[in-house]
Amino acid sequence: MKQPSAASKRIPTGGNPDLVHNPFAVLTGEGLPPGPCGQPQSFAGSPATLDETKPAKKNRGRVDILRVKAGRGGKTVTVVKNFTGIGLPEKEQLARAMQRACGTGGTVKDGQIEIQGDKREEVARILTEANFRPVFAGG
């Protein structure tokens, strides 16, 4: 008896639709809240649409928000310090966003952001939006 050749033992897999099964193809977004653009969510998305979703941003660390009056001629200043892992350009960008939101002046000095006035709530909101964890410290 003749033995079968290696070519005859192979199983053809050339794009047979019976071999491709997506268990999520039958799921719908029925009963789910609307997506980011008001459209219903769907689990039966193609891999291209799944890659377009942005991953959740990580917490970038704790930053302290202080209200300081000492050594400033009686003026109150909001100081943000203890940034970890960001450079001077990003601190300057955050400072500009805080100044616009608070409607006041400010600067980046010695690795700290200083905003004129007691603007701790507004500064905390901006830092939260930038994925920092703001903590009120001091008086």
**By the 8 A CB rule, do 65 and 124 touch?**
yes
Give the model's pLDDT for residue 34: 74
Q: Where are the domains of the chain?
A: 20-54, 62-137
Give the model's pLDDT for residue 19: 56
**47 confidence band (pLDDT: 50, 70, 90):** very low
Q: What is the CATH class of 62-137?
A: alpha beta
Over range 24-39, report the average pLDDT.
Answer: 72
Give the model's pLDDT for residue 40: 58
pLDDT over 90 (residue 8) = no
Q: Encode pLDDT of 90-139 as tens digits.
A: 999 999 999 999 999 999 999 999 999 999 999 999 999 999 999 999 76
Which comes out higher in pLDDT, residue 34 or 39?
A: 34
Q: What pTM was computed for the model?
A: 0.58
∠ CA 135-117-133, nearest 5°, is 15
In angstroms, the CA 92 to CA 108 distance is 6
